[in-house]
Amino acid sequence: MTLELFLVLAAALLAIGLFGALSQQSVVMVMMGLELMLNGVILAAAAFWYFLAPAPDGQVLVLVVITAMTVEMAMGFAVVTLLYRAKEADMTDMAAELKG
């Protein structure tokens, strides 16, 4: 496996996630698109660190970022669940009315 192959895969994940985040109406699907975009960025960073500086420091940082991303997505899903229970808003248009 080469660096270019990893970067193409990361770019594909980023593009699919961007399309999913911009084209969906459901809040959960938008969050899944954002998750794919973050995974593409993490894959590109991990590939750069593996091929350019094979020290374990980069791999540890990738694990920390994945852990933080997991906590962030869990909190996001908790907010979406509470939003649905309180206002039965499961689409982004319904959630936009909650600004004030």
* CB atoms inside a 10 Å sphere around CB 74: 10
For 71, phi then psi, to 5°, come to: -65, -40
Nearest Cα residue to 3 out of 48, 65, 68, 58: 48
How far apart, in whole angstroms, are the C-alpha atoms of residue 47 and residue 51? 6
pLDDT in tens, 44-68: 988 988 888 877 777 788 888 889 8
Q: Are 58 and 50 in contact (CB under 8 A)?
A: yes
Task: List the single range of 2-11, 33-42, 78-87 with lowest mean pLDDT.
Answer: 78-87
Phi-psi region of 55 (alpha: psi -120 to 50; beta: other; left: phi over 0): beta
> What's the whole-model pTM score?
0.77
